[in-house]
Amino acid sequence: MGKIAKIHEMLTTGQCSCAELTKSYLKAIESDNGELNAYVCVTGDEAMKTAEAVDKKIAAGETIGLLEGVPMALKDNMSTKGIDTTCCSKILTGYKPIFDATVWELLKEQNAVMLGKTNMDEFAMGSSCENSYFGGAANPVDTNHVAGGSSGGAASAVGGNIAAYGLGSDTGGSIRQPASFCGVVGLKPTYGAVSRYGLIAYASSLDQIGPVTSSVEDAALVFDAISKPDKRDSTCKGSASPTFDKLGSDIKGMKIGIAREYLDGVRDDVKEAVLAAAELYKGMGAEIVYFDLPILKFALPVYYIIACAEASSNLGRYDGIRYGYKTEHYTGTHDMICRTRSEGFGEEVKRRILLGTYVLSAGYYDAYYKKAQDLRGTIIKAFNNAFEQCDVILAPTVPMTAFEKGHATSDPVETYLTDICTVPVNIAGLPGVSVPCGFNQKGMPIGMQLIGKSFDEATILNAAYHYQQAAPDKFKETKWGVKL
């Protein structure tokens, strides 16, 4: 039974009230967030109001939905009306949106109890969460290590048991990588399955919102709740069908593909854990198919060119005129904008804006951006061909386990390389789920990812569910937070 189902049972059988449950989570946040730094904004009053509304429904004998009254968290790049939404950047200090993101609208309608907004790399640019204006989130397994990025706060909160689930965003691995580092489940849905309306953009053709949870069942439940069509996002179709009801379907005869290139340069402990998972699937009656996917070597440069180009365009709106941070001393409008952006953006964001502006500039557009878009089409075709040989693809989520704090600044190139296994999924717009599959010698979690065909979340979640059932010891509770 997943955490959400367990909480639902507790509420409906009277084991505790929603107000009591919410208070216990808020108390755990007060106690543990100082060390984890998972939350950058705690919304205790709003959480208690919703909890009391749920208790009234239960007292009146009304049926409540599975997500009603369940304490959760939102990444700080999702718009929440009247509540700080800063993208963990100085330049958005004090910004309170006048509308809600679609995903929060959907969850709010179901009386989800929002505990607060979670930490992230500034504007979702980073792989460690250390690029946050508020300082990085810590890994709940070992707080000397990073939680991963950019949705590090969501993974830290779920792994640290100070949220039942969280919503993150994934542009190049930003849900799956921190999920892998923190030993939790992270689902990056198909591009267009979940509305991006109200998600503050990093790279619009790559960004996608998805759940971070402690179990596959919970990931399916949350995905089903947020994957609805939305006219305000022209790219959003919603999901093909519900996924939760399909968990447990037989996987005998399922073809699980492993691209040899996904194992290149991966640390031995990670490779061993992923191949052990493949053997476990084999024992369940699945067929393991090895194949070549040489185009993968171009995925990382293609990603950084496209993502930075789109970031350069999207972040052009932050000028200190309409909202957010504004420099105190300036001589004119041009000087004010230059100073505001120089002071308001962090180093990594400035680096990516400069790179993106360069590849879009006259004389370089064809050499870089156009070529990257052409290669993107080739990568999409290569994945389509691969899925003619298999039903899902099994790969490491990250080539390594969580690194120690400070490593990202001492070795930025290796930090960029942590995205090497995750970015192809975003480039091709495919769904991918990261699932814990083992631990290294220091006890840090290892994650594997299952990649599916477009809008086929049901298949990858079902495959992940079977693994979870067969290897429950890989899904370990940490020492933190609320004990259910």
Integer Cα distance of 480 and 157 in angstroms: 10
Q: Which two tokens stand for residue 328?
A: 């105190």
How far from the centroid of its chain's Cα atoms is residue 13's Cα? Answer: 32
Task: Tell me whether residue 454 is one of the annotated catalytic residues.
Answer: no
Question: Which are the contacts of 437, defined by CB distance < 8 A and separation ≥ 6?
Answer: 273, 274, 276, 277, 446, 447, 448, 467, 471, 474
Query: Is there a cis peptide before residue 132, judged by omega within 30 degrees of 0?
Result: no
| Residue tagged active-site, from 17, 128, 150, 239 | 150
Give buried/exposed letters for 201-223 (b at 16+ CB in 10 A, else e). Answer: bbbebbbbbbbbbbbbbbbbbbb
Q: For 150, what's the count of Cα atoms within 13 Å in the CB-facing half-sphere? A: 29
The Cβ of residue 237 has, within 10 Å, a number of other Cβ atoms equal to 17
**Nearest 5°: phi and psi at 176?**
-70, -40
Active-site residue (options: 75, 188, 405, 474): 75
- 8 A C-beta contact, residue 466 and residue 251: yes
For the question of residue 174 being annotated catalytic, the response is: yes
Cα–Cα distance between 152 and 85 in angstroms, integer?
16
Q: Distance of CA 403 to CAs 130, 135, 262, 442, 446, Å?
A: 12, 16, 20, 11, 12
10 Å CB burial of residue 228 (0-12, 13-18, 19+) is middle
Contact 228, 238 (CB under 8 A): yes
CA dist 198 and 429 (Å) reads 20
Given 89, 127, 128, 174, which residue is catalytic? 174
Active site residues: 75, 150, 174
